[in-house]
Amino acid sequence: MKPLNPPVTNWSGKRIWLVGASSGIGAALAKRLLAAGAQVVISSRRIDQLTLVAEGHPNAHIVAFDVTQTEAWPQALSQVVEYLGVIDLVIMGAARYDPTHSWEIDLAQVEKSFDLNVVSMYRGLAFIVPALLAQGAGGIAMIASISAYTGLPRALIYGATKAALNNLAQTLYFELAPKGLAVYLINPGFVQTPMTAVNDFEMPGLMTPEQAAAAIMAGLEKGRFEIRFPGGFANLLRWLARLPDRVRFAMLHRLTKM
């Protein structure tokens, strides 16, 4: 079957803006894209970390800004266009993770998580989508999570934000693909990052950031709409999410021992 997005056949010379590139998956993906010959603008708040990611790569450019500040987006976009001219792909991955049970809700954490994980995506899209439509080409990729598939222990906040991104990406694809734009939904499982370092439970299918970056690029190269990994655990969770509620909840209780 024809892929939902145009496959990326060659990274050399591709012009990419990667938001959330200072650590974890974003940093590993930036380094892999740069090594493949792409022109990459890397963004986050932490310019010191971005400098480390860009070190040794003449095709790397830094645009540091705070994605939670609406007024910062158009200025950042303008700088990116100055560096790249045309944007082939924007990868949006800035996020926070606050493991939370239902009986320990912290409203400040809820507000900060939704503001960064969800609202900031809309802040960026408000400026990026018109720019790509004006170009007549380009793509948007959003990093969500397989925790979006179904309710999971301690994912009370994080899972809900990522479920919002899954729905958002589907609507973006529905509306933008006919206009010539590519849309990618990236759903990682557990990856060894500063965010998951706080977990005190076994993480099935745990991957390194480098493995996650390789999986993302492989999915983009195949033109997939949803790029989920690791294959076994991600597919299992997706299958569980489609079971009848009574069966799904019973199986999740058994698997998570909760």
pTM: 0.94
Question: Cα separation of 135 and 80, whole Å?
Answer: 14
> Alpha-carbon distance 31 to 126, whole Å?
27
Q: Left if phi > 0, otherwise alpha if psi is -120 to 50, otherwise beta: which for 36?
A: alpha
Whether 137 and 176 have beta carbons less than 8 Å apart is answered as: no
Is the pLDDT score of 116 beyond 80?
Answer: yes
Rounded to whole angstroms, what are the CA distances from 220 to 7, 48, 199?
Answer: 6, 29, 29
Tokens of 225: 């709409």
For residue 18, give Cα distances in angstroms to 8, 60, 100, 170.
16, 11, 28, 20
Is 210 a residue whose pLDDT tops 70? yes
Closest CA to 139 of 78, 202, 219: 219
Q: Is the pLDDT of residue 137 over 80?
A: yes
Q: What is the dihedral of CA 39, 72, 119, 176, to 10 degrees?
A: -50
Beta strand 39-43 pairing with 89-92 = unpaired
Give the chain's mean pLDDT: 94
Rounded to an integer, what distance in angstroms lies between the CA atom of residue 220 and that of residue 178?
19
Q: What are 38-89's pLDDT values in tens digits?
A: 999 999 999 999 999 999 999 999 999 999 999 999 999 999 999 999 999 9
pLDDT of residue 170: 98
Per-domain residue ranges for the chain?
Answer: 15-256
Q: What is the C-alpha separation between 94 and 116, in angstroms, rounded?
A: 7
Burial classification of residue 36, based on how many CB atoms lie within 10 Å of its CB (0-12 exposed, 13-18 middle, 19 or more buried): middle
Q: Is the distance from CB of 168 to CB of 185 less than 8 angstroms? A: no
pLDDT at residue 226 tops 90: yes
Residue 174: both structure tokens together: 């529905």
Res 128: pLDDT: 98
Spatial separation of the C-alpha atoms in residues 175 and 168, rounded to whole Å:
11
Cis peptide before 153 (omega within 30 of 0): no
Q: How far apart are CA 110 and CA 117, in angstroms?
A: 10
Question: Is residue 92 within a helix (H) or strand (E), and if so which, with residue range?
Answer: strand 89-92
Rg of the chain over all Cα atoms, to the nearest angstrom:
18
Q: Please state which CATH class domain 15-256 belongs to.
A: alpha beta
The model's pLDDT over 236-258, given as tens digits with 9 standing for 90+, comes to 999 999 999 999 999 988 888 77
- Find the mean pLDDT for residues 132-142: 97
Q: What's the Cα-to-Cα distance from 48 to each of 24, 43, 57, 63, rounded to whole Å?
A: 15, 11, 15, 12
